Structures are given as structure tokens and as C-alpha cells.
């Protein structure tokens, strides 16, 4: 799925790299490319998700977004608009990607970048910022490569009360939240604990003890 795909350069590369279905969306029209579905829509609009879902006919393996605002020349404004577009793309990626799907998004650097990066990190198990040599220095474009969409019911930094109901091979206690394993270091069977999620992996999370509730 290619968001902000006009005039279609990335779509053509995607076609060379993938044998899967490819769909492109943009505010502007895209000249027909054999085998690729394209349509005009605004990625900041909620209704676009349904249009895209219908076009894909399921969930996507990969969402890429090169969408960019019309440049005003005022960097702060262009940066804010770029972050806004990237946030819309992230929202769409959450709804469109299959579990463990991948996301790539372009953003203009600026003071809102770190908080956007943190948002992407909450949803994917691997995130790396990459500034290709081809990007002009003054434009300070960065591409975020985010791999493996997390579908876990917890996120890094969450605080919750749990009970340890089994012990893993490592000897650490394990609490289950909605069938998802939370490994709590230095815990024992039966412990009732307030924990903080430290890291989330596709199939389990690590947590640290904040407070013992039963001792």
C-alpha cells in the first residue's frame, strides 16, 4: 500500500520488487500502471481507510508513505504539516497492516520529530531512522523504517497490576494478559505485583516490578 503515491515512481519500483497486490492513493491522479490499482483520496480522512481496505481486499503486508505537503518555504509550518501527514499514515498503517507487517514513512526533520518517532516505536518492534544520501541536506528528509507491527495488548511504559501464574524456562515469573505473556524479572509464582512494561516483542513482553501488592 503506497500512500501519497503520485506520480507513481515508488509504485513502479514496488511492482518490480513484489509479486503481491499493489495499491496507490494520492490527492492527485496517477497515470495508469498495468497491474496496479490507484485512486484519488486524502490520507488524512478517516473514510480513506475503508476505500483502501476494499481495494486491497484484506490487510496489507507493507504500507509505505512518501506523502509531502506543498512546501511553503516556512520550515516550521512545512515540518508540522509533514508530521501531520506522517501521523495519518501511521494511523492508517495500524488499521491496514497485518500482524508483524512493515511500515515506511517520510518525515521532514524538526522539533516534533522525536515525539513522532516515539509513537512509531510504541507500535513496531524495530524502528530505524534513515536519511538517504539522495535526500538534499537542506530539506532534511528522514525515512522511518518500522518493522513488525505489534498487536500485543500492552505497550512499552504501560503500568498494570498482574498476578504471576507460571514460571518460564529462565526462572522468571510470567503473567498472562489477554493470552499474551508478560515476563516479570525477579518474580515468583503467585506474586501480585504492579509492573511497568519495559519492552514489547511480537510474542511476549518484559516488565519490571514497581510494587509488591501482597507483601
Ligand X SMILES: C[S@@+](CC[C@H](N)C(=O)[O-])C[C@H]1O[C@@H](n2cnc3c(N)ncnc32)[C@H](O)[C@@H]1O
Closer residue to ligand X in complex, CB, 105/200: 105
- Contacts for 44 with CB less than 8 Å, ≥ 6 apart: 84, 85, 88
Interface stretch with ligand X, choices 61-69, 129-137, 150-158, 172-180 (CB under 6 A): 61-69
DSSP symbol at 156: T
* Sole binder of ligand X in the list 23, 52, 66, 120 (CB under 6 A): 66
Q: Which grid cell is 56?
A: 486491497
> Which residue in the set 33, 51, 55, 68 belongs to the binding site for ligand X (CB under 6 A)?
68
Specify the residue, 5 or 162, whose C-beta has the smaller distance to ligand X: 5
Rounded Cα distance, 93 and 74, in Å: 28
Residue 44 near ligand X by CB under 6 A: yes
Rounded Cα–Cα distance for residues 186 and 193 (Å) = 11
In whole angstroms, how far apart are CA 104 and each of 12, 44, 46, 128, 188? Answer: 16, 17, 20, 10, 41
Q: Please identify which residue in 18, 20, 42, 72 interacts with ligand X, judged by CB under 6 A.
A: 42
Enumerate the active-site residues.
Answer: 106
Question: Which of the ranges 37-45, 120-128, 129-137, 152-160 carries the binding residues for ligand X, by CB under 6 A?
Answer: 37-45
Q: Using CB under 6 A, list all residues that contact ligand X.
A: 4-10, 26-28, 42-44, 66-68, 85
Amino acid at each position: 500500500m503506497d500512500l501519497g503515491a503520485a506520480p507513481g515512481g515508488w509504485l513502479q519500483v514496488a511492482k518490480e520488487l513484489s509479486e503481491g497486490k499493489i495499491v496507490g492513493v494520492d490527492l492527485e491522479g496517477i497515470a495508469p500502471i498495468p497491474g496496479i490499482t490507484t485512486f484519488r483520496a486524502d490520507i488524512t480522512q478517516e473514510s480513506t481507510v475503508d476505500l483502501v481496505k476494499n481495494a486491497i481486499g484484506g490487510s496489507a503486508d507493507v504500507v509505505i508513505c512518501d506523502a509531502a505537503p506543498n512546501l511553503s518555504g516556512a520550515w516550521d509550518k512545512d515540518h508540522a504539516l509533514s508530521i501531520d501527514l506522517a501521523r495519518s499514515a501511521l494511523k492508517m498503517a495500524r488499521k491496514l497492516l497485518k500482524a508483524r507487517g512493515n511500515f515506511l514513512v517520510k518525515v521532514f526533520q524538526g522539533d516534533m520529530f522525536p515525539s513522532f518517532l516515539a509513537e512509531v516505536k510504541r507500535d513496531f518492534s524495530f524502528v530505524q531512522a534513515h536519511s538517504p544520501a539522495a535526500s538534499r541536506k537542506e530539506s532534511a528528509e528522514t525515512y522511518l523504517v518500522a518493522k513488525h507491527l505489534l498487536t500485543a495488548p500492552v505497550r512499552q511504559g504501560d503500568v498494570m497490576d498482574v498476578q504471576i501464574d507460571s514460571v518460564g524456562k529462565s526462572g522468571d515469573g510470567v503473567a498472562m494478559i489477554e493470552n499474551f505473556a508478560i515476563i516479570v524479572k525477579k518474580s515468583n509464582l503467585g506474586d501480585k505485583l504492579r509492573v511497568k512494561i519495559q519492552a514489547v516483542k511480537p510474542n511476549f513482553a518484559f516488565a519490571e516490578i514497581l510494587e509488591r501488592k501482597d507483601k
